[in-house]
């Protein structure tokens, strides 16, 4: 899973800021977020409600609705990981229509709301396919059957209405729909939250196999860090609209550097091994309308330093694994000092 040379960048998000409302009352839901999605990777986005993870995804896919507003930043899509980029924020609705399904597809949490309840399942596939491919109806219907088969739904279900399917089937159907035009990027916003664990495992299992088969990249958004650790190549942890930690999945699990990521990891009781009392994270998630000064996590942080209330830590750029935390900076400083001492 860990590749020596990083794959080419597909999606480059730079300093993206999304606000709800404008002027004085604007609430900043996403604040200067930068990340890159590489070809064929699974990027996990972990965070709690209000951390801005869904707002970020709707902004990146240009699906945000007023009062949400992209205040600044850039989203560039590099088709096939090529050098030339398409500025998604400057794209017209017609240009976006071209890209959707074809290059970039989205799977939402509630499959019931994502599927049209008065259209047969197959017809919804046919719509998406015929909007992008010059194929006949008959061919499109058989393609729909193929896609359903990919996610393990019996092909005769193609003529079913969404309400005739179980919750897990519906969720798998939306994944199949996202695959309809073989996009390069699939954004999944909590795709397995509404289904139970056995179904979740099956969906994830399918997804991994399909990714191996088609090589698409996935942005997987969830609050379930324990699932992400198993599934994702890299994970970014969000808190109060900012990325607080970014690193490989195993690094985030074994060696979380931000106290919030540590708390999040320790919030999941282990299934095996010794049991010890777990404490979670004290306090409540932040109110975006009145964020604390300095680091947003500082009021809940068990390792708070005096300067945390005044200095806002930044996420180090261009590192494999970094955390936006002052402690981290002093830790880095310490290693630098150490190596200097050694070299002397």
Partner 1 sequence: MTAAPLVAEAAEAILQAVGVTKRIPLHGRDRGRAVHALNGVDLTLRRGQILALVGESGSGKSTLARLLALGDTPTDGEIRFAGKQVRPGRRADRRAHFGRVQMVLQDPFSSLNNLHRVRYILSRPLRNFGRTSPAEIEGRILELLERVNLTPATDFIDKFPHELSGGQRQRIAIARALAAEPVVLLGDEPVSMLDVSIRLDILNLLAELRDRDGLAMLYITHDIASARYFADEISVMYAGHIVESGPAEQVTQEPKHPYTKLLLAASPNPDRLTVGTEAEDVDVDVDEKDLAEPPNLLAEPVGCPFAHRCPDAAPVCSATAPPTHSFAAGQLARCWLYDS
Shortest Å distance, C-beta 194 to partner 1: 9
Beta bridge partners, 77, equal 11, 86
Shortest Å distance, C-beta 283 to partner 1: 8
Shortest Å distance, C-beta 263 to partner 1: 6
Q: How far apart are CA 70 and CA 215, in angstroms?
A: 30
- Give the residue with the Cβ less far from partner 1, 120 or 300: 300
Tokens of 153: 């739904």
Shortest Å distance, C-beta 253 to partner 1: 5
CA-based torsion, 187, 201, 228, 110: positive or negative: positive
Q: How far apart are CA 16 and CA 96, in angstroms?
A: 18
Q: 3-state class of 269 per DSSP?
A: coil
Q: How far apart are CA 179 and CA 103, in angstroms?
A: 10
Q: How far apart are CA 34 and CA 17, in angstroms?
A: 10
- Give the residue with the Cβ less far from partner 1, 129 or 228: 228
Q: What are phi and psi of 216, to 5 degrees?
A: -80, 160
The answer to whether the peptide bond before residue 219 is cis (omega within 30 degrees of 0) is no
Shortest Å distance, C-beta 340 to partner 1: 34
Shortest Å distance, C-beta 223 to partner 1: 5
- Give the residue with the Cβ less far from partner 1, 197 or 318: 197
Tokens of 165: 């399917």
Give me the residues that bind partner 1 (CB under 8 A), please.
1, 48-49, 152, 166-167, 196-202, 204-205, 208-209, 223-227, 229-231, 249-250, 253, 263-264, 267-273, 275, 277-282, 284-285
Shortest Å distance, C-beta 50 to partner 1: 8
- Give the residue with the Cβ less far from partner 1, 112 or 199: 199
- Give the residue with the Cβ less far from partner 1, 177 or 281: 281
- Give the residue with the Cβ less far from partner 1, 134 or 272: 272
∠ CA 172-177-180, nearest 5°, is 130
- Give the residue with the Cβ less far from partner 1, 292 or 316: 292
- Give the residue with the Cβ less far from partner 1, 198 or 341: 198
Shortest Å distance, C-beta 169 to partner 1: 8
Nearest residue to 218 (alpha-carbon basis) of 244, 248, 263, 184: 184
Relative to beta strand 104-107, strand 86-87 is: unpaired
Long-range contact set of residues 197-206: C-beta below 8 Å, sequence gap at least 24: 199/167, 199/168, 199/171, 200/227, 202/152, 202/168, 203/168, 203/171, 203/172, 203/175, 204/230, 204/231, 206/150, 206/151, 206/152, 206/172, 206/175
Shortest Å distance, C-beta 1 to partner 1: 5
- Give the residue with the Cβ less far from partner 1, 212 or 344: 212
């Amino acid at each position: 899973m860990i590749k020596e040379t990083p794959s080419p960048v597909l999606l480059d998000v730079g300093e993206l800021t999304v606000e709800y409302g404008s002027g004085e009352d604007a609430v900043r839901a996403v604040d200067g977020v930068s990340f890159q999605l590489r070809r064929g990777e699974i990027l996990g986005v972990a965070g709690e409600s209000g951390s801005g993870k869904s707002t970020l995804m709707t902004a990146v896919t240009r699906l945000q609705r007023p009062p949400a507003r992209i205040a600044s930043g850039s989203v560039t899509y590099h088709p096939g990981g090529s050098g030339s980029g398409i500025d998604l924020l400057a794209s017209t609705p017609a240009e976006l229509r071209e890209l959707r399904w074809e290059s970039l597809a989205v799977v939402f949490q509630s499959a019931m709301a994502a599927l049209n309840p008065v259209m047969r399942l197959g017809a919804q596939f046919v719509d998406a396919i015929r909007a992008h491919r010059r194929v006949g109806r008959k061919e499109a219907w058989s393609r729909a059957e193929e896609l359903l088969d990919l996610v393990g739904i019996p092909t005769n279900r193609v003529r079913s209405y969404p309400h005739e399917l179980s919750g897990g089937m519906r969720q798998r159907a939306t994944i199949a729909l996202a695959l309809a035009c073989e996009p390069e990027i699939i954004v999944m916003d909590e795709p397995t939250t509404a289904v139970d664990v056995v179904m979740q495992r099956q969906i994830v299992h399918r997804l991994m196999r399909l990714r191996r088969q088609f090589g698409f990249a996935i942005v997987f958004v969830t609050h379930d860090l324990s699932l992400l650790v198993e599934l994702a190549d890299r994970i970014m942890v969000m808190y109060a609209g900012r990325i607080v930690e970014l690193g490989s999945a195993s690094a985030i699990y074994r060696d979380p550097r931000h106290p919030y990521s540590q708390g999040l990891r320790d919030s999941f009781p282990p299934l095996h091994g010794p049991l010890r009392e777990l404490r979670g994270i004290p306090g409540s998630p932040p109110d975006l309308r009145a964020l604390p000064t300095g680091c947003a996590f500082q009021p809940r942080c068990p390792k708070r330093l005096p300067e945390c209330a005044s200095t806002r830590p930044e996420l180090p750029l261009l590192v494999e694994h970094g955390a936006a935390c002052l402690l981290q900076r002093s830790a880095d400083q310490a290693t630098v000092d150490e190596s200097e001492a050694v070299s002397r």
